[in-house]
Amino acid sequence: MEKQTTYTEDNIRSLDWKEHIRMRPGMYIGKLGDGSSPDDGIYILLKEVLDNCIDEFVMGAGKTIEITIKESQVTVRDFGRGIPLGKVVDVVSKMNTGGKYDSRAFKKSVGLNGVGTKAVNALSSSFVVQSNRDKQSKTASFEFGDLSSDNPVEESSRRRGTKVVFVPDVTIFKNYKYRLEYVERMIKYYVYLNPGLTIDLNGVKFFSENGLKDLLTDQTNESDLSYPIIHLKGEDIEVALTHSKTQYSEEYHSFVNGQHTTQGGTHQAAFREGLVKTVRDHFGKNYEASDIRKSIISAVSIKVMEPVFESQTKTKLVSTEMGEKMPSVRSYIVDFLSTQLDNFLHKNTDVADAIQRKIIQAERERKDLSGIRKLARERAKKASLHNKKLRDCRVHLPDLKKDRRLDSTLFITEGDSASGSITKSRDVNTQAVFSLRGKPLNSYGMSKKIVYENEEFNLLQAALNIEDSLEDLRYNNIVIATDADVDGMHIRLLLITFFLQFFPELIKEGHLYILQTPLFRVRDKKQTFYCYSEQERRAAIEKLSGKPEITRFKGLGEISPDEFKFFIGEDIRLDPVMMDKTTTTEQLLEFYMGKNTPDRQKFIIENLKVELDVVEQKMEA
């Protein structure tokens, strides 16, 4: 007979505020991660502190924010009003305490629930808050959420404002590292949405004069645009949009009260609807919505009274109303576009003509591809049923969007041995494997037609579900897992070319990664170390007594499934593929994948010499 588990008063626990946050961090900051992804927890901690600084600026207090990131320690200083001195400890350590509950003090703020800085405090090994106001200062220090020092109020000549210093807890955020590229992108969004605000990151200043227009200018290259960026502003709304000459998919950047809603929501849906309606009405033609929106690059920002988000991480707006006695979000945005965008097109007929030409071109391309797309879909469907190219997982990104604590990952591998090892050691719930057959085609300079005609590309596109847009992308992380030899590097380059050529927004939005796998295994009878560099190999040898066994892994297929689980599990190491904003996609592809062989050869030789010089210096040291 099965033994029953007792259920008494002893089973009931009451957690204090910090215990609950530390036990269930995902509820407050989404996934944890190590800093390789832009939505990893360490960036959410920074964002939660920054949101409070932004709210001060929005309320007219403080035009500068200073951020310093030195290894694991983060310092954020604003010059706003400063936390009321008698409440400094409470606002960072007592749930349901904060100024955001008083709409008189914060009318259209980012933070709402008084949770943000409490989560940062609880999830940091060290947290210090200092408030300066009325020529007085108050400082309090915490360790793992516990108050360690509560200093009395003292006279001070410091400028008013709030300073927060924190160090994320390494027991929660394992092997983490702040990547300044991600921090810079976050900061740029803040300044685009708050013209007049200056944010200083490690001595580098970020500032915007033209709001969302600057955002699109930074995201694009002028030569790639079908027409100059349209920039429209109204009360509580700002819009910027253009169409790309080369990009195939739709690209949206949406914001609410200065918060980057990466998963969109009611405002983004309303913008897409309003754009289609306005264009159809302006030209008096019932164009297909997909033809109107194809290749669009856009941004929309609105301000809402007491917005409702899907979760604490505030990545998706679910509010339907702008505020009390105000129109709905949908009607407000649709009406704004119907009036302002239509007026703009009447006054700027050259832009209107460019948009119409773009729509007609998209319509023609859609019709030209319709037959081949249908055949390609049928082939993809048949292939997914009858071959083992894709070993899918059970849940996907659309299923996980309400729970950002989890990720779904697709590993793209070469050969049966490598894909077999990953398949046997993966988490079948959230990790899928796509096996390549041979080297992919060099797709540089080719049209979208090749994606449907080439079996590998067609099946990969179908697996990712990105034919028309990224909205239904099935995996949050797309991980290229190839051998660290010449062939593996070549395959990696060809895959990156494919994504850059046809789906650059996958890279822009931080979905593409390179899997790091160990080069060496160093072990004795008691311990085993997996080393990702020569430096790590030497350090492992020093830790082991006697003469350890050293194995050099030449390919992924040599790593057994029992070992592979260590490299794609909790301690997975991923290198994000990032785009340098100073180089256009076209320039990048032309240099690395074009026919300029002598230039590439010279580049390789010069950089190889630099690399060898660095290695030589390290060996001498």
Give the pLDDT of residue 293: 93
- Asked if 333 and 339 touch (Cβ cutoff 8 Å), the reply is no
Distance CA 221, CA 446 (A): 20
List, for residues 130-160, the tens digit of each pLDDT value.
999 999 999 999 999 999 999 999 999 999 9
Phi, psi for residue 103 in degrees, rounded to 5: -65, -15
What's the pLDDT band for 587 if we cut at 50, 70, 90?
low
What's the whole-number mean pLDDT along residues 120-135? 93
What's the whole-number mean pLDDT along residues 496-502? 87
- Asked if 224 and 586 touch (Cβ cutoff 8 Å), the reply is yes
Give the pLDDT of residue 591: 58
List, for residues 30-74, the tens digit of each pLDDT value.
788 888 888 889 999 999 999 889 889 988 888 999 999 998 999
- Asked if 238 and 225 touch (Cβ cutoff 8 Å), the reply is no
Q: What is the pTM of this model?
A: 0.77
Lowest model confidence (mean pLDDT) among 220-229, 319-328, 374-383, 612-621: 612-621
Give the pLDDT of residue 102: 45
List, for residues 349-392, the tens digit of each pLDDT value.
999 999 999 999 999 988 888 778 777 777 777 766 556 688 88
Classify residue 526 as exposed, middle or buried by CB count within 10 Å of its CB (0-12, 13-18, 19+).
exposed
C-alpha of 472 from chain center: 16
Give the pLDDT of residue 296: 92
What's the pLDDT band for 406 if we cut at 50, 70, 90?
low
What's the pLDDT band for 608 if we cut at 50, 70, 90?
low
Residue 425 has pLDDT above 70, yes or no: yes
Neighbours of 307 (CB within 10 A): 26
Taking the C-alpha atoms of 286, 289, 291 and 296 in order, what is their torsion angle to the nearest 10 degrees?
A: 130
How large is the C-alpha radius of gyration of the chain? 27
Greater confidence (210 vs 612) lies with: 210
What's the whole-number mean pLDDT along residues 445-460? 84
Percent of the chain with pLDDT over 70: 84
Distance CA 361, CA 30 (A): 41
Distance CA 116, CA 189 (A): 19
What's the pLDDT band for 565 if we cut at 50, 70, 90?
confident
Distance CA 412, CA 434 (A): 5
DSSP 101: G
Residues 6+ apart with CB under 8 A from 599: 591
